[in-house]
Structure 1
Amino acid sequence: MNYKFHIAIALFLVTFECLKAQVIPAPTCASATVYNIAELDSLTGTMLDTPNPTGATPLCPTGGAAHNTSWVAFYSWGGTYHFQLEFDNCSVNGTGVQFGVWGDCGFTESIYCDPACTGPGKKGFDATLESGKIYYMFFDGCSGDVCDYVFHVGKPINTLTFRNFIDENTNCMFDQNETQIKLLTLGHSYKGKTDYYPLADLHLPLFDFETGVHKFWIKESSKNWQTCADTIIYNLDSTSADTVLDLGIHQTGDCPEVSIEISTDRLRFCADNVYKIKYSNNSIFELPNQTIQLNTPVDLTLVGASIPVQTSNPPFYTFYSGTMSPFSSKEFTVTVHTPCERDKLMLTYCSEARFLLDTICDPDSLWDGSSLSVRAECDKASKKVKFIIDNMARFDMTREAGYAIIEDEIMPLLKGTIKLKMEESRSLDFPARGSTYRLILDQVLHHPGNSHPTIALEGCGEDANGEFSTGRVLQFPEDEQDENVSVDCKELRGSYDPNDKLASPIGFSDNHFIENNTPIEYLIRFQNEGNDVAERIVILDKLDQNIDVSNFELIGSSHPVTYSIHDRYVEFIFDKINLTYKSKNDITSRGYVNYRVSLKPDLPVGTRIENAADIFFDHNPAIRTNETYHTTWEKIITQIYSSDEQIHALVYPNPTDGRISIELPKDQIGYTLDVIDVNGKLRHTQQLNIRKTQLFLDEYAQETGVYLIKLTDTRGSFSIFKVLYMR
């Protein structure tokens, strides 16, 4: 769901001290353990006392030779850093240490490299680093010397502590009786880069290379509260002392604001599976007990829940939220058992959670009071797919609402409008031939919220080969744009990749087309395939440049996680996760984190959005996930004109990469097909003498863009179709 607030699963503590770790150098560049650069400050160690010549040849671009090399890898958030190495007690020959940093293990990018052998002392340098890039640092004893060393990389000259609180007396100062809150997010801008941190016990270190003006603000906003100041300016210099910055908010309205998320990493075939449901009171005031409703597919059997089930009327179940303090969250789990019939494999199951509120705040006075919902049924007796549209309200619709039907790649198969009286229903029926059908419905104009009811049905009937399509339910977004609704859809699978990344919706066609305003949910799954417990897991995820980082929302995770955003990099840290290994327990060796982002507005049609993540188990070298991708497009009504208001053919897919299928009505042939560009130029014409035709648009269209396909029958009646061609 698309909501203004989010909450992490654990209290977040972003301090310099918490980044300290036991740093263990590795024998080779490729096997170097990976750390956040702040973890390396004050690193102490002793050179290897055995031969290990694993550096470059020569060791540095200016010379030197490897002898007993050891390696450490690190990443930073970009900027200029000062590195210093102190070494003494050189016990073999007293000639000292060779020291350097490479940008790769192929030794083609030297950041700094000093092969000089001058005995005990210091070596230092400044380097400008790229955000999120992995660098490789080596230590090597001159002629095999063995020295003790201490490594430094800058130091914090100031730590900022942030207090976010409800300013009850509106004096914009924190008073002891005022409530501190930990639900909101801090924005931080410095020298053109923007970072985000959850405001939960936040202690932010600032280093000697970060002097100058820093800007801070609360990311979220609301009609029901406002901040004491839009932005806080802080000027860091070498004399700055540790500082507490107060971020007060005060009430301006009384409309309850809530959010809910339901998540799981997968649905395993014929097994117990756990959903996590997290819900939040995002209001500035206390919220009395409310009802949470869970709707699961009929094929999923409820096994149990971590809180009492109040009512059970499968597939609907209700739970109580309990009284919730301002800006607070709670969570519970629900266990379901998936079906064991083999023909259910690869079907997609969607579960929905709703945080029900008693009132609708400030409805538009022009709203007619109607509210639509959709259901889907597979009627095996009549061999029909049935979509039932209900007006649930006790008010008639005073105007029509639009709908569209999608069948597999035929988009849209049918468009229409509907107008229902109070509590009236209408059924739309389609042949059950193994296709995946989806209905997308508009609410009436001025309806509260952002709801667009939608439902998909797959596995109903069979095609000519005795099969049905799967994998198409996930192509389009679900109806979860309102803050109090969340939907989780997963395919029922028997096996999974251990470390991967999923995106939802996956998008339409092989290009994974999505509309420009569609939020994307990413799910990163990981599994410990080693031979020991993983104590700490870090995930680095660089967001695409076309993603609006400010709209990042954490949805859920398998274990307590902290996160922060630096420029475009999201860093997830599962500290003390103690994740068991696969050979000991396959189920408990897995974990996940998922989040939601929005695209930047007004992206050009055809913009590609890519994403992958790096997973680090206990500082081991990264495991790169698969790459997901999407392509932006504009919503196009395929048939835009008909001289006799009939659908003369099916033209799909739309958008297209060049191949277009055209299906004429039964027993009708002899159509003339014309391909016309947007300037009115005729690009191609042909006769259609069979019902189903493949048109290869790329033979006649040289440029990406919109093209018109005109179909004229023997009577002179015609339809015009608009398609988007993406080269």
Structure 2
Amino acid sequence: DILQLGDTIALDFSVQAVYECPLLDVDLSTPYMRRCYENTYYVRYFNYGTAAAPNALISIVLDPFLTATGSNLPYTQSGDTLFFSAGQVESLEGGNFQFTAILDCDSTVLGQTHCTEAHIFPDSLCYDINPEWDGAHLEVDGICMGDSVILTITNTGLGMQSTVNYIIVEDQIMFKLSTLQLAAGQDTSFVLYPGGSTLTIIVNQTHGHPGDNQPILVIEGCGGFPFSTGYALQFPQNDGDFSTDIECRQSIGSFDPNDKVGLPEGVSEQHVIAPETTIEYLIRFQNTGTDTAFRVEIRDTLPLSLDLATFRQGASSHPYQLGISSFGALSFVFDPIALPDSGANWAASQGFVKFSIAPKKGITLGTTIENRASIYFDQNTAVLTAQTLHTLGNPFQYLITPVTEPVNTNAAVGALLIAPNPTLGNTMVSLAQPLKSEGLRLGLLDALGRELKKLGYWDISKNLNLDLGNLPAGVYFLELKSLEGKVIARGKVMKM
């Protein structure tokens, strides 16, 4: 027959599965993180494999500052971990559920990052193991002990046949870049004194390691108060494998109800990420009108630099119909949704959708990925989100290199020159002897040795203007320390 314009033809192809196994994916998301309030987490799971997954189980490890309050799916709890039974998940089928948790008031601060992890079992990998893999498996752990952090890298697999790189970052400072090689069961530890800075440790697995596992650990809020915030989301989480998802969100106060964010945020103002980094996009919407919205549509035309073949759906607040064009135009249609206006029901007036996608392989370094979405409520004009930005490159090249010449921490403690001294308020601080180093931290202490203020990183090639105007009269001390907590120089100043 001759096909006419508008005719369709259906062809059936015989396909045989290469592997008969389940491949379970889990995604966890919460649109906002509010202190002192109940926050809702949304979980989506799906079986991309060729066989059913019997007795599927999802574990949720809560952030230490969260307390579970309920769920629309029964669960059991052991310590900080919730367990949800998903039953048998057939091939190319899935489901979703929600749970709620309160974020503590007294022990958290605005802007602090809170991470919750989901893992789904069985967590089989449906492909052959690379024969070049040496069987090593590295894990990283960390604990805050007063003013110090103990970081530990452990090889829980076979002995490593080669070295791998690891990196420790303090806020946006490259503190340590080195290599290690561990025998089976061996570990190595570091004791650091962050003084309230955010520490990130990233460890490479050995060549051929199965899956997309890369140990990454972030420790925020240890060793001082106030502590730095906003650095915990620079790098990806260790959730490249389908079976794991780690949801990290900063707590917020007031917010833009219709926006789009992309994680990881990347390093520096250019938001630099590695070219192989998968970006998770979260689009949030709220009906701020005066009546119920019965239909919501989100349109998002992706940049050509993103690879449509890597697109994966994530969790969402409501069911939707997904449309994808060949040139990367996404459409998320929530119809019906019956979204009340924010004046009638503030909590129920909100929604979100989450998805992930990776850049195309071989794309030029320096390429920027800019993206925004349009949100349509019923027949109203579009609400445009702010534009997200990522730049492809080596994020570690955009970190501050802390030391140009090693600090001799075994030498006698140096002196800080302070003038005028005594002072009515403002005074200048300098080093009595030059020291070629960057990234040293200056702290202000009272006469009892209690740290009153962290003055942050000091470019010691310049004099520091110190303002004591808001402090009562008395004697105060200054200490210049390295990240390891070694005192490099001290000084004393009298406020009149």
Query: What is the TM-score of this pair, normalised by structure 2?
Result: 0.77
Counterpart residue number, 1:406:
169
Map 1:217-296 onto structure 2 (within 5 A): 237-238=4-5, 241=7, 243-246=9-12, 249-296=15-62
Instruction: Note if 1:352 corresponds to 2:114.
Output: no
Q: 2:240, 2:141 → 1: CA distance?
A: 18
Paired letter, 1:552: F
Instruction: Note if 1:571 corresponds to 2:335.
Output: no
Counterpart residue number, 1:443:
205
1:459 pairs with one of 221, 231, 243: 221
**Residues 628 and 235 (structure 1), Cα distance of their counterparts in 2 relative to 1, 3 Å cut:** farther
Which deviations, in whole Å up to 9, do the C-alpha atoms of 1:598-646 show, x marking residues without a partner?
A: 112222222111111111111101111111111111355689x9xxxx9
Q: Secondary structure at the match of 2:233?
A: helix
Q: 2:276, 2:82 → 1: CA distance?
A: 32
- Count of aligned positions: 416
Q: 1:235, 1:607 → 2: CA distance?
A: 46
Counterpart residue number, 2:100:
335
What are structure 1's unaligned runs of at least 5 residues?
1-233, 651-665, 674-689, 695-727
Instruction: Note if 1:490 corresponds to 2:249.
Output: yes
The answer on whether the counterparts of 1:669 and 1:691 sit within 8 Å (CA) in structure 2 is no
Q: 1:515, 1:270 → 2: CA distance?
A: 36
**Residues 489 and 671 (structure 1), Cα distance of their counterparts in 2 relative to 1, 3 Å cut:** closer
Instruction: Note if 1:609 corresponds to 2:369.
Output: yes
Paired letter, 1:344: V
Counterpart residue number, 1:521:
280
2:294 pairs with one of 528, 535, 541: 535
Map 1:42-57 onto structure 2 (within 5 A): none
Counterpart residue number, 1:559:
318
1:384 pairs with one of 142, 148, 152: 148
**Residues 454 and 235 (structure 1), Cα distance of their counterparts in 2 relative to 1, 3 Å cut:** farther
The answer on whether the counterparts of 2:437 and 2:460 sit within 8 Å (CA) in structure 1 is no
**Residues 670 and 375 (structure 1), Cα distance of their counterparts in 2 relative to 1, 3 Å cut:** closer
Counterpart residue number, 2:68:
302
Q: Secondary structure at the match of 2:336?
A: strand
The answer on whether the counterparts of 1:298 and 1:314 sit within 8 Å (CA) in structure 2 is no
Counterpart residue number, 1:648:
405
Q: Secondary structure at the match of 2:15?
A: strand
Counterpart residue number, 2:86:
321
Q: 1:615, 1:446 → 2: CA distance?
A: 43
C-alpha displacement at 1:256, in angstroms?
A: 3.1
C-alpha displacement at 1:585, in angstroms?
A: 1.0
Q: Secondary structure at the match of 1:591?
A: strand
Q: Secondary structure at the match of 2:365?
A: coil
Paired letter, 1:648: E
C-alpha displacement at 1:667, in angstroms?
A: 8.8
**Residues 372 and 534 (structure 1), Cα distance of their counterparts in 2 relative to 1, 3 Å cut:** same
Q: Secondary structure at the match of 2:335?
A: strand
Q: Secondary structure at the match of 1:482?
A: coil
Q: 2:321, 2:313 → 1: CA distance?
A: 10
Which deviations, in whole Å up to 9, do the C-alpha atoms of 1:383-420 show, x marking residues without a partner?
A: 11222223334x3434333210011111x210122333
Q: Secondary structure at the match of 2:136?
A: coil
Paired letter, 1:278: R
2:342 pairs with one of 582, 594, 598: 582
Counterpart residue number, 2:460:
692
What are structure 2's unaligned runs of at least 5 residues?
408-430, 439-457, 463-496
Q: 2:105, 2:232 → 1: CA distance?
A: 21
**Residues 236 and 468 (structure 1), Cα distance of their counterparts in 2 relative to 1, 3 Å cut:** farther
CA RMSD of aligned residues (A): 2.8
C-alpha displacement at 1:433, in angstroms?
A: 1.1
- What percentage of residue pairs aligned between the two structures are identical? 32
Which deviations, in whole Å up to 9, do the C-alpha atoms of 1:567-602 show, x marking residues without a partner?
A: 232111111100011011111000001111111222
C-alpha displacement at 1:455, in angstroms?
A: 1.0
Which deviations, in whole Å up to 9, do the C-alpha atoms of 1:125-171 show, x marking residues without a partner?
A: xxxxxxxxxxxxxxxxxxxxxxxxxxxxxxxxxxxxxxxxxxxxxxx
Which 4+ runs in 1 deviate beyond 6 A? none
**Residues 603 and 513 (structure 1), Cα distance of their counterparts in 2 relative to 1, 3 Å cut:** same
Which deviations, in whole Å up to 9, do the C-alpha atoms of 1:316-356 show, x marking residues without a partner?
A: 23333312222211222222111112742211111111123
Q: 1:293, 1:512 → 2: CA distance?
A: 32
Instruction: Note if 1:628 corresponds to 2:396.
Output: no
Q: 1:469, 1:502 → 2: CA distance?
A: 21
Counterpart residue number, 1:113:
none
Q: Secondary structure at the match of 1:588?
A: helix
Which deviations, in whole Å up to 9, do the C-alpha atoms of 1:466-521 show, x marking residues without a partner?
A: 53211111111111111111111111112221111111011111111111111111
**Residues 599 and 358 (structure 1), Cα distance of their counterparts in 2 relative to 1, 3 Å cut:** closer
**Residues 243 and 445 (structure 1), Cα distance of their counterparts in 2 relative to 1, 3 Å cut:** closer
**Residues 293 and 392 (structure 1), Cα distance of their counterparts in 2 relative to 1, 3 Å cut:** farther
Whose radius of gyration is greater, 1 or 2?
Answer: 1
Instruction: Note if 1:362 corresponds to 2:128.
Output: yes
Counterpart residue number, 1:93:
none
Map 1:12-411 onto structure 2 (within 5 A): 237-238=4-5, 241=7, 243-246=9-12, 249-310=15-76, 312-341=77-106, 343-357=108-122, 362-380=128-146, 383-393=147-157, 395-410=158-173
